[in-house]
Amino acid sequence: MCVIPCSPLPRLSLSFFSVLRNKFSHTLTLFFLCTYVEQWPAFFTDLFSLLRVAESSSQPKFNRHVSLLLFHLVLEISGEVADQTIKSARTFNPVRHTRDARVRDAVRERDASLINDAVLTLVADGAERMAVLRKSDNVESKPLGDVVEVVDWGVRSFGSYVGM
């Protein structure tokens, strides 16, 4: 009989998960840029369908992880197609320039109002939950911190795409 020695998994730091989330967001953004216009025009609609969780009075109405993913994606997409500082740091590539313009125009035409509504709804819901958590007698730092993180990223993403 062969016994495989095993040891407990090392504890991963929170920074590892943050880096992993950022890498995934960037990879999904690059995939979005290649597929949105012609192959996956319902990208945001599909993503929005994952936001809501089953109705429960004790649970938030929106999935925190999908909300953060949406905010990261909006920031990444905005940076890729509209941020002049990032674009000027790269060597000019006419193919990329054309693609970015097509994606930017398609997002404005198809999904800009939906993105706006989703971001503002998530931020408003988060602000309401923050107020409720702050008023409650049992204020735990973890749930409040999670809601603050969602609101913070929502405000950042709103500021990034307004100019898009």
For 1-41, how does the pLDDT look when each residue is reduced to its tens digit (9 = 90+)? 455 555 555 666 667 888 888 899 999 999 999 999 999 99
User: What is the pLDDT, as a whole number, of residue 12?
Assistant: 63
Residues 97-149 have pLDDT tens digits of 999 999 999 999 999 999 999 999 999 999 999 998 888 866 667 788 899 99
User: What is the pLDDT, as a whole number, of residue 58?
Assistant: 64
Picking from 53, 33, 52, 55, the residue whose alpha carbon sits closest to that of residue 43 is 33
CA dist 20 and 97 (Å) reads 28
Q: State mean pLDDT over 139-161.
A: 87
Could you state, in order of their start, the residue ranges of all structural domains in the chain?
A: 41-52+59-161
User: What is the pLDDT, as a whole number, of residue 70?
Assistant: 95
What angle separates helix 14-35 from helix 94-110, to the nearest 10 degrees? 90
- pTM, full prediction: 0.84
CA dist 124 and 126 (Å) reads 5
Picking from 99, 98, 147, the residue whose alpha carbon sits closest to that of residue 124 is 147
User: What is the pLDDT, as a whole number, of residue 88?
Assistant: 83
